[in-house]
Amino acid sequence: MADEHREYEPHPIADWFPMMARQEFNNLCKDIERNGLVDPIVLLDGKILDGRNRYGACLKVKCEPTFKEFAGTDPAAYVLSKNAHRRMMHAGQRAMTACKMSNAGGRKRKKGSQKVSDEEAAALCGCGRRSVANARIILKSKNEPLIDKVWRGRKSLRNAIQELEDLQLMADSGKVPENVTDRLGNPIKSEAIAIEFARESIFTRALKRISEAEHEIEFLLQDVFQTWISKQQVFIDLTNAKNAINEGRPYAVCPECKGRHCGSCRDRGWMPQRHYKLWMQANGENYESEREGEEGPEQA
């Protein structure tokens, strides 16, 4: 029997899924304040199996929550059916959820088990097994700030894995980039973003190799093999390769969040040149003056 005057903790199975985002939760609070609690909170072993957000909303708007005991035989399947497809979650959140519900082995869930296989978890959460494996790497890192960002949907899984690799490289080398600036000369305070800009030589080297390849291919196409090679297509492909590299090449610290990560910079803290130019133009800033400032003072 539920005690309506005690505070309830979430059941471990309920914690497979992240809590609602702030806006979703605020909307839920308004709905409960207006219509009351429609769906009772489900308890198992004295803990909340389903309804953590509804319970929190009831406490916030001072609405008396109602409870019911779980009456089924498979609590894991119940939570999955209630949450796996109805929640709006980012890809990284889905992968983290799949990892938490997975037993990290086996192909099928044993009857009555509260864990599922990676394959089943990935299918239920709408992500790939590789994403589940990456989520496990992040969870095992014990990097709580990073885990929290992915869990809340504030950082993508790919960016989180990249950040872990960068941190490992720093730990292995014992070096942290110092006095790193973006390509406009702005100082970079975040170590993680400084690492991104410290890789400038890698991008430059890759672009140089493509340019060298263009010259070699130009010479090659003068030979007999030219009848088997589309010169136009080859150079289109090389141009696309250079564009792809520049698209991933850090240019400037994000002018909106100043490196603190936001939607405009796709949670990276920096922008490539094309995105930076578009942002400046969209916000009424003079992109050309920024470029001139990089090269020197404007001529009278």
How many angstroms separate the CA atoms of 168 and 176, rounded?
Answer: 11
* Domain boundary residue, one of 148, 170, 192: 170
Q: Whats the size of the chain, residue-wise?
A: 300
Determine the pLDDT at residue 5: 60
Determine the pLDDT at residue 51: 92
Dihedral angle, C-alpha 273, 278, 282, 286, nearest 10 °: 50
Domain co-membership, 93 together with 150 = yes
Residue 186 lies in a domain: no
How many angstroms separate the CA atoms of 93 and 296, rounded?
Answer: 45
Number of domains, the chain: 3
Domain co-membership, 57 together with 130 = no
Residue 181 lies in a domain: no
User: If DSSP codes are grouped into helix, strand and coil, which group holds residue 75?
Assistant: helix
Domain co-membership, 153 together with 229 = no
Residue 230 lies in a domain: yes
Question: Is pTM, for the whole model, over 0.95?
Answer: no
Domain co-membership, 154 together with 217 = no
Domain co-membership, 130 together with 59 = no
Residue 214 lies in a domain: yes
**In sequence order, what are the beta bridge partners of 10?**
48
Residue range of the domain that includes 241? 200-295
User: If DSSP codes are grouped into helix, strand and coil, which group holds residue 180?
Assistant: coil
**The tokens 């539920």 sit on which residue?**
2
What string of pLDDT tens digits covers the 300 residues of the chain? Answer: 455 567 889 998 888 888 887 888 899 999 999 999 999 999 998 999 999 999 999 999 999 999 999 998 888 778 877 876 555 778 888 888 888 888 644 445 555 555 677 888 888 788 888 899 899 999 888 888 788 888 888 888 888 888 787 777 665 655 555 667 788 888 887 777 777 776 666 777 778 888 887 777 776 666 555 556 666 777 788 888 888 887 778 888 888 888 877 888 887 888 888 889 899 888 887 765 444 334 333 333
Determine the pLDDT at residue 299: 33
How many angstroms separate the CA atoms of 252 and 270, rounded?
Answer: 6
Residue 219 lies in a domain: yes
Which residues are CB-neighbours of 63 under 8 A, at least 6 positions away?
A: 32, 33, 36, 37, 57
Cβ density class 213-251: b for 16+ within 10 Å, e for less? eeeeeeeeeeeeeeeeeeeeebeeeeeeeeeebeeebbb
Residue 60 lies in a domain: yes
Determine the pLDDT at residue 117: 78
User: Are residues 108 and 117 in contact, defined by beta-carbon separation less than 8 angstroms?
Assistant: yes
Residue 211 lies in a domain: yes
Residue 161 lies in a domain: yes
The two structure tokens encoding residue 1 = 């029997």
Domain co-membership, 99 together with 148 = yes
Residue type, position 44, single letter: L
**The tokens 């400032």 sit on which residue?**
293
User: Are residues 94 and 16 in contact, defined by beta-carbon separation less than 8 angstroms?
Assistant: no
DSSP track, 201-263: HHHHHHHHHHHHHHHHHHHHTTSGGGGGS-HHHHHHHHHHHHHHHHHTS--EE-TTTTTS--T
As to burial, measured by CB atoms within 10 angstroms (0-12 exposed, 13-18 middle, 19+ buried), residue 212 is exposed
Domain co-membership, 98 together with 70 = no
How many angstroms separate the CA atoms of 147 and 143, rounded?
Answer: 6
- At CA 155, angle to CA 127 and CA 125, rounded to 5? 20
Domain co-membership, 225 together with 274 = yes
* CATH number assigned to the domain comprising residue 67: 3.90.1530.30
